[in-house]
Structure formats: C-alpha cells, structure tokens
Amino acid sequence: MPISPSSGPASGGNTVTITGVNLGGATSVRFGTKSAAIVSNTATQVVVTAPSGSGAVNVTVTTPGGNSNPLKYYYVGLPTEFSLSPAAGPVAGGNSVTIDGTGLSTATQVTFGANSATPTVLSDSELSVAVPGGVAGSVEVTVTTGGGTTGGLSYTYVAAPTISAATPDEGPPTGGTQVTVTGTAFDTTQSVTFDGIGAAFTVLSPTTLITTSPPTSDGGAGPADITVTTLAGTATTAYTYVAAPGI
C-alpha cells in the first residue's frame, strides 16, 4: 500500500495519496494518533489532507473490513538557508552555486526570483544547483523541501563586462604603466591580464578600473590584449608594448 508523498511539512495541510486494495468506504485515515480529512475515496485509493505532526508516524486506513497495515510517513521541519556561494553570476546562468543550511535533504526546487532549478542534494546541510538564466539585478533565493519553502538569501545576476577604451593603450616592455580602463560591469572583476600575464588592478566604479602593466614575458615589444575577467565573463581590448628608442 504505497503512500505519496511519504513526507511533508510539520504544519500539515498537504495532500497525500494512499493506494492499495479494498480501500472503498474508508471511515478514517490516521497519521499516528491524528485523523486526516478524507478528500476522495475509491476501492484502490484514498486521498487525504495530512494533519500536523512531527517525526515519523504510522499511517493506517480503516474501512468496514478493518484496519490496514501501517505505512511510514515523515514530518519534515522547514528548511533554513545560511549561506549561498558564490552570491553572484552571469545573467546567462549555467554556473553552479552551493547553498548551506539545515533540513535540506528533501529539497526538490530552488528558485532564483521567478526562475526555478532542480538541486542536487549533497547532504542535509548542503545543496548544489545550476543557476537558471535571469536579468541583471538581485533576486531572492528560495528552497522548497518536504517541509515547506524558505527564503532570505539574495543572488545577483551580473551583466557581462564591456571595454570601451584603455588609456594609454601602449607602454614599455618593462611594464609599470598605469592604464585606465573604461567600460561597463566591472563590479565583480576577478582579474586583469596583459597577454595572459596577471596585473594589479583597482576597481574605481562599475565603469572604470585602473591597472598597472606587467613586464612582458620575454622583454620584447609587441601587441598584448588587456583582458578583464568578472563573474559574468571577459572583455578584451588592445594594448601595445613599445620598444625603447635607441640612438
């Protein structure tokens, strides 16, 4: 005699379906010591509204023929969310985030604003989920489990960066040139490189950052792309290492 779902919130109120044989004319369905309201009943099925409760209880169906064998039903507390990492990512989604909390073992859905995703349960205290696409800005993150839905965490969708200019756009192979990079969506900048070589940088605003050119790997002159990498992607602009004059 299967029961579906086999768990639900401690507050009750959810619909539970019990299937079996000879269930017609059911007079009561009990969850432990509490009676459930019968919604519908046929010879092979009883649909009820679960009462409130806690822990694991036996569910039995009573008909004019007697009492059924018991089935286990588990009351689940509301989940809690403690942290979300990372708390920002690209508007395209697809990146993975980890949610830490409690009571997460029965998680079936995570929503990011109006968009939902199916999580992977790592443990009762940890979930992993691929973020669905969204629009730039912050949204609430909620987790739904057998115990209900809880929120309280925020996730920020970040637009991909763009670069409009690098000033100056050239300097000596020895490095040390301070370059001002202008563009958009620099808020979550993770790195700046010159032809793949990491450079120190400071984000002044979402549209401006300053960086210092590193020495070239071989000491020679030539073109070198400046690449800005953020949580939402990368943007590139041209820079040239210019050889020192000689006389």
CATH number of 95's domain: 2.60.40.10
User: Quick check: is 24 in a domain?
Assistant: yes
Q: Say what the pLDDT of residue 34 is.
A: 96
CA 113 to chain centre: 11
Average pLDDT over residues 89-102: 94
Tokens 């400046």 appear where? 226
Q: Where among 54, 75, 96 does a domain terminate?
A: 75
Average pLDDT, stretch 157-171?
Answer: 96
Q: Which pair of tokens denotes residue 35?
A: 């009676």
Same domain assignment for residues 47 and 68: yes
Q: Compute the mean pLDDT over every residue in the chain, rounded to the nearest whole number.
A: 94
Give the count of domains, the chain: 3
Does residue 1 surpass a pLDDT of 80?
A: no
pLDDT score at 62: 97
Clarify whether residues 96 and 151 are in a common domain. yes
Q: Which two tokens stand for residue 147?
A: 């115990």
**Predicted local confidence at residue 113, as pLDDT:** 96
Residues 188, 227, single domain; the answer is yes
Q: Do residue 87 and residue 154 come from a single domain? A: yes
Residue 118 — pLDDT band, cuts 50, 70, 90? Answer: very high
**Overall average pLDDT of the 147-154 stretch:** 90
Of residues 80 and 110, more confidence is placed in: 110
Q: Is residue 95 part of a domain?
A: yes
Which of 35, 57, 75 is the endpoint of a domain?
Answer: 75
Say yes or no to pLDDT of 146 above 90. Answer: no
Residue 179 has pLDDT above 70, yes or no: yes
51 and 67 assigned to the same domain: yes
Chain centre to alpha carbon of residue 90:
12
**What average pLDDT does this structure show over 97-116?**
94
70 and 84 assigned to the same domain: no
pLDDT of 112 over the 80 cut: yes
**pLDDT the model gives residue 84:** 94
How distant, in Å, are the alpha carbons of 112, 129, 186, 209, 238 from that of 231?
17, 17, 9, 16, 21
Q: Are strands 148-158 and 88-90 parallel, antiparallel or unpaired?
A: parallel
Mean pLDDT of 49-74: 95
* 246 within domain boundaries: no
Q: Is residue 184 part of a domain?
A: yes
| 43 falls within a domain | yes
Look up the domain containing 137 and give its range: 80-158
- Whether pLDDT at 122 is above 80: yes
Question: Are the C-beta atoms of residues 104 and 76 closer than 8 Å to each other?
Answer: no
Q: Is residue 14 part of a domain?
A: yes
Among 75, 92, 127, which residue terminates a domain? 75
Rounded average pLDDT over 82-106: 93
